[in-house]
A and B are shown apart, each in its own frame.
Chain A
Amino acid sequence: MLKIKDLQAGLEGKKILQGINLEVKPGEVHAIMGPNGSGKSTLASVIAGKEEFEMTKGEITFENEDITELDPEERAHKGIFLSFQYPVEIPGVSVTNFIKTAINETRKSKGEKDMPASDMLKMIKEKADLLEIDRKFLSRSLNEGFSGGEKKRNEIFQMAMMEPKLAILDETDSGLDIDALKIVANGVNKLKSKDNAVIVITHYQRLLDYIVPDFVHVLMNGRIVKSGTKELAYELEEKGYDWIKEELV
């Protein structure tokens, strides 16, 4: 589904990603872990197509198509979803209006008509129930005055609505208490299928108790320095990252 080869990218002349190789197949869950500043969020932004980041080398293909020249919205239309670490506020635009616009713009890009309002409402109800979201929440302005947990839950709600092929969860666990974490993880698990894939970016192993990864990658200084199974996550939790650094030397 997603193939990244020798990806090098940076911001304002500073090199951050120094040659990433990663392949994600349908049905898989990949976890990317690493210390602060290792390039985890940069990787997520580059896959999503954020323009500030300059890609200097390598290739990113999605379903066998080179997407490096595509705008972020075109990547979104192809089924790439990013759950933001820091979701932005859009005052005056309700959660419902926002997701309706997102879905209909995506449909438009495929030459489809707007989703009928009744279908939309049904889907919103279904997905809100899945994530235990109060319906009142949906008429509030997007992320405005939301608690950290509400913001993250809203991200997963949007993911549920957009039904992406590839979802990248960038530190979705940060700012969540254990109950909210369980609800969010539970939601992600229910949305998982053999046809879609998830990349979980996290500092802590905690989330991986609930969203169990098939693969764990350790990102350090812009490179994936170690890959393994979920056991690697436990090892990291126990020993920190220093032993990997030593291994590398």
Chain B
Amino acid sequence: MAKFTEDDLKKELENKEYEYGFYTDIESETFPVGLNEEIVRAISLKKEEPEWMTEWRLESFRYWKEMVEPEWANVHYEKPDFQNISYYSAPNKKPKYNSIDEVDPELLETFKKLGISLEEQKKLAGVAVDIVMDSVSVATTFKDTLAKKGIIFCSISEAIKNHPELVKKYLGTVVPQRDNFYAALNSAVFSDGSFCYIPKGVRCPMELSTYFRINQAGTGQFERTLVIADEGSYVSYLEGCTAPSRDENQLHAAVVELIALDNAEIKYSTVQNWFPGNKEGKGGVYNFVTKRGLCEKNAKISWTQVETGSAVTWKYPSCVLKGDNSIGEFYSIAVTNNFQQADTGTKMIHLGKNTRSTIISKGISAGKSQNSYRGLVQISPRAENARNFSQCDSLLMGNNCGAHTFPYIEAKNKTAKVEHEATTSKIGEDQIFYCNQRGIDTEKAIALIVNGFSKEVLNKLPMEFAVEAQKLLEISLEGSVG
């Protein structure tokens, strides 16, 4: 009775090469490796930044020099040599495109390989795309439509030049320069990223979407994103990432700051598929990201993430629920395979009265990977009637992987209600056989089970993103999790 067993699956999975491992040869200008005040100044100069920005970067650099890399996460890796990284790389040709025909064909080819061609994107009604390729924005569409509503959606570099009052007011207010080692590094050397401002009372008519991509060998990527939703406004922001395969580890240390003013709502969705390393655990992206949002009165921030890539992930999209009645949500699917390690979760800081937060985390581990959920729910003394509900589910495939849950709860107000639920399950032979008996082969069966497991989170993603996320889940577990 020859049958495709779980062991066969594992083998097939190990042999599954990273599908997006290709490299686009676009002429780039890259700084020499190393980091010092001169490099920081040079980055700022290169980007034609005003003096205040240069100073802000230098201040961050000085903080960073005094800090040490954190070691508390449940991940093991060789620490990057920060003096052996080039901190700036930009595509040389940077014309302003009026139409898609003017875009470098090679770049378009890259997007085609990713299955997110601009042609396709343009047809996807309601999606404006700000493409960040190796740190510098090269194309922005739908800008006019947005401009009519007073919405600003541009690269952070442009925002520094054109909207300095907004950047000055909000940059570093949610994630301070010295927040942590990587945030300080990012503040000193961030190359580019996205900026978004939604004016008072405006409902952004489309999903704002950015595709990030690491492209140059040995180039660290330091994205900076700032989203400001003014009073009573609403925006849904999508961030998707893929990277070509590389032998040496690539460092990614992004900072994302969200500000939801009174009665505003921000939905921030991420699909992350960076190169996870090969089946021996070599190579792959180090993803050390600081994401945090601030909610003023009656505001709401939802983080939704689908994490399938990176060799090492260290990421805790958090909400500071400062205003009364504000709401924070975190929905996450993290998939690890082969030698991937993920330590991800969230922090919900309840400061205001009647603040509510929901955490749904789904971890899927396969191969020899380690998947950790780490979450903090903090209720401050002033946060009367704060509520939190957390649910952490882990799904294991095979016997060589690990799932860990580290929930921290600090309640300093007696009226707080905090609930935590956790489950761990394994895809059983019986489940697979049941599906097989109904004519569903093992790969499809695993995909079905994984999708079912992740459903509560997938449902939170915008429609077009959910499809892509489902595809990524299947790709990253393909062979074993078809």
Q: Which residues of A contact B (CB under 8 A)?
A: 48-55, 68-69, 71-73, 76-77, 81-82, 84, 87-88, 90-93, 97-99, 101-103, 105-106, 109, 141-142, 158, 162
Given contacts A53-B1, A72-B3, contact A92 B456 (CB under 8 A): yes
CB-CB contacts below 8 Å: B1-24 with A: 1-5
Q: Cβ of A71: which chain B residues have Cβ within 8 Å of it?
A: 2-4, 436, 441
Contact present for A88 and B428 (CB under 8 Å)? yes
Closest CB in chain B relative to A115 CB, distance in Å: 13
Contact present for A72 and B437 (CB under 8 Å)? yes
Closest B residue to A143 using CB positions = B434
| Majority secondary structure, A binding face | mixed
Partner of B449, one of A82, A93, A102, A158: A93
Partner of B438, one of A51, A76, A97: A76
Q: Cβ of B439: which chain A residues have Cβ within 8 Å of it?
A: 73, 76-77, 102-103, 105-106, 109, 162
- State whether the Cβ of B391 lies closer than 8 Å to any Cβ in chain A: no
Q: Which residues of B contact A (CB under 8 A)?
A: 1-5, 428-431, 433-442, 444, 448-449, 451-456
Contact present for B431 and A92 (CB under 8 Å)? no
Given contacts A90-B452, A141-B452, A162-B439, contact A101 B444 (CB under 8 A): yes
Instruction: Please list the 8 inter-chain residue pairs (A to B) with the smallest Cβ-Cβ separation, ordered nearest first.
Output: A92-B452, A93-B452, A102-B438, A72-B436, A92-B455, A76-B439, A106-B439, A51-B3
Q: Tell me, in angstroms, the Cα distance from A142 to B438 when the chains sit together.
A: 13
Q: Tell me, in angstroms, the Cα distance from A228 to B5 when the chains sit together.
A: 40
Q: Cβ of A97: which chain B residues have Cβ within 8 Å of it?
A: 448
Q: Tell me, in angstroms, the Cα distance from A55 to B1 when the chains sit together.
A: 7
Given contacts A91-B453, A105-B441, contact A98 B448 (CB under 8 A): yes
Given A92-B452, A162-B439, list of 19 further CB < 8 A pairs?
A: A49-B436, A49-B437, A50-B433, A53-B1, A55-B1, A71-B436, A72-B437, A73-B438, A76-B439, A87-B434, A90-B435, A91-B452, A92-B451, A93-B451, A99-B438, A102-B438, A103-B439, A105-B438, A109-B439
Closest B residue to A108 using CB positions = B439
Contact present for B436 and A73 (CB under 8 Å)? yes
Closest B residue to A54 using CB positions = B1
Closest CB in chain B relative to A53 CB, distance in Å: 7
Q: Cβ of B449: which chain A residues have Cβ within 8 Å of it?
A: 90, 93
Q: Cβ of B454: which chain A residues have Cβ within 8 Å of it?
A: 92
Contact present for A73 and B440 (CB under 8 Å)? yes
Given contacts A51-B3, A92-B454, A93-B451, contact A82 B441 (CB under 8 A): no
Contact present for B1 and A105 (CB under 8 Å)? no
